[in-house]
Each structure stands twice: as C-alpha cells, then as structure tokens.
Amino acid sequence: MKRKASPPRQPRTQPIELPRSAKAGLAELRRARRAGAARYRRRGEVAQGGMALVVQVWDSLLHRPLAMKLQPTRGKAGSDEAVARFLREGAIAAQLRHPGVIPVHDLGLDERGRLYYTMPLVEGRELGEVLDRARTASRGGELARALAALAQVCDVVRYAHLRGVIHGDLKPSNVLLGPFDEVYVLDWGLATLASDDGHDGAVSGTPPYMSPEQAEGHVGFPSDVYAVGAMLYRLLAGRSPYAPRRGHEDAQKTIELVKRGPPTPIERLAPDAPAGLAALCERAMAREPDERGSPEELAAGLRAIAATLGAAGRERS
C-alpha cells in the first residue's frame, strides 16, 4: 500500500515589528545620540539621491569600514513623512535576515541631528550593467549569469513575502552583484507590509517597472513578481518596458502607458530569445496579478533555462 505524500511544510512566518511612531522613534534615538555621535568617521561619499545620502565611514569601535545612509534634514527629504519612511526602512531591513538583504547594524542621529543607519560596505556591479553585458555578449554564459542573478532576486522576494514585506521598487539599479555573483536587493524605502493593506491610492515606485495595479496606487505581492518580469524584459529587449524609441522617458506618460496596456511584445523585440524566456517574461508581467505565478515559480523557470544555456556552452567549448 502506497503512503500518500504529505504536502511540503511552509516556513513559519514572523511578523515585522516597527517603531510605534516617528515621534517615539526619534525620542529614543536622541537619548542615545551623545554616546553614538563620535563612533563613525566619514571617509567619502558612496552615492547620493534625492531623499538620502550614502557615505563610507570608519567604525572606530569595531575597526571596520561601513556604509552609512543619511537622511537630509532640509526640504522634502526632511519632512515628517520622509523621516517616518526612513525609520520604517531601517526597521524593515534590520529584520530581514537573508543573504540577499544587506543587514542594518546601527540606527541613530549624527552630530548634526540627521538620522542614519549603518550597514556593511558592499562593492559590486548594478544589475543593469550585467543585463546589458549579457544582451551584447556573444556567449551564452553571460546570459545564464544574468538569469541566475534574476533568480536570486526572486529568492529574496520570496523570503520578504514570507515575512509579509512587499519591496515595491524592484529595478536594476536596486540590485547589486558582488564579486562572487552574490546578489543583494537594496533600497527598502518604499517597502510596505501586507498587513497595512497597500491600497492607499498613492502611486510610488519606478514607472517602467511598475505593475498596472501599482500605477493605480495599489501594491501587493504580485507587484514584485511583475517588477522582476520587467527586468527580464529589459534583458531581452535591451530597454525597459515602455521606453521611448527617441528622447527621454517621461514618468507621468509612462504611468499612463502602464495603465493602458502591455508593452511591445518581447517576440517582436527579441525574436531570437532562447526558447521559453519570452513566455516566462510574459507570464510574470501579466496584466492580472493572479496570473503571474509566484517568485519561486519564476525562479525555477529562470534557473532551468540558465542551466540549459550553461550546458550548451560547455558542449561547444
């Protein structure tokens, strides 16, 4: 008599804990300000955006270089909403314990009263560079490497979803590949918790990688799957979805195009794409969220095609 196979056990989910409020979080940090202000010595700028600055610092207590993300205090970046988002980002990233998420070491206020958090200093290449190289390379090994990187992004997304976290801004510039092809998903500043119900009507994210529902102000787990599909589209087509043939991308116009209908089919832009990749991309970018499949299904498809490309490359060599 055959024993009936039991269904696979799902990992136990753990809820994300956040500060009670921005005011309570700031009050707690001010109490620790004097002790922590002199610990980090600034060594140079790493990156700068509209809402945050990342610098390299030296941790004089543990004698190691770190990256420090700083919250500006002026303009829009210093608003109560921006402060709350920064605290939220630090809290979420600190509790996502996965090899593909850079851990948060410390959260505090510097000597100028700016919020900061520190994390390991990671060097590598942005995913966009890897995608562009894979498209122009003559050997399948580069394409297999790019597909494997996208599969690792899916792994991080799956883990975050199990913790109830939606990234909300997946794109090539928010994915970093380390020297050993390890993948890090960066910038959790637009992350939301599924328990918060991401249907507040506010449109946030990067338009070319937004799902149709996200362009309408609604975000959910399938929105992250769509974004990975849009990165696969970028790999195959050589440009992001809805990118104009000439001129610069217009954010508002792109959002309207996302709402209106699907982008140009991959089969027309990349007719020589390896078998199965166009279909994989089309499913991940389906208009209906329920039709996109899960991150693990997308990862499995990417790895299967990457393995086929790798085997073909070995036979030719």
pLDDT along the chain (317 residues), means of 10: 50 66 75 65 79 87 90 74 88 94 92 90 93 81 94 98 96 94 93 76 88 95 98 95 82 93 92 90 97 97 91 57
Contact by Cβ (8 Å): 121, 56: yes
- 164-192 burial by CB neighbour count: b if 16+ within 10 A, else e? bbbbbbbbbbbbbbeeeeebbbbbbbbbb
Q: Which DSSP letter does residue 99 get?
A: T
With DSSP H G I counted as helix, E B as strand and the rest as coil, what are the percentages for the chain, rounded to 5? 45, 15, 40
Handedness of CA 14, 20, 26, 27 (dihedral sign): negative
Cβ count near 157 (within 10 Å) = 26
Catalytic residue among 59, 80, 106, 169: 169
CATH superfamily to which 26-120 belongs: Phosphorylase Kinase; domain 1 (3.30.200.20)
Per-residue model confidence (pLDDT) at position 218: 93
Q: Are strands 115-120 and 106-109 parallel, antiparallel or unpaired?
A: antiparallel
Token digits of residue 243: 């990118």
| Residue ranges per structural domain of the chain | 26-120, 125-316
**Residue positions counted in the chain:** 317
Give the Cα separation of 122 and 125 in Å (integer). 10
Identity at 33, one-letter amino acid code? R
Per-residue model confidence (pLDDT) at position 112: 84
Per-residue model confidence (pLDDT) at position 1: 46
The radius of gyration computed from the CA coordinates of the chain, to the nearest angstrom, equals 21
Per-residue model confidence (pLDDT) at position 306: 94
Identity at 262, one-letter amino acid code? P
Handedness of CA 91, 86, 149, 224 (dihedral sign): positive
Per-residue model confidence (pLDDT) at position 147: 97
The phi, psi pair for 69, rounded to 5°, reads: -95, 125
**CATH architecture observed for domain 125-316:** Orthogonal Bundle (1.10)
- Rounded to 5°, the CA angle 31-37-40 comes to 140
For tokens 């070319």, the residue is 208
Residue 196 is a catalytic residue: no
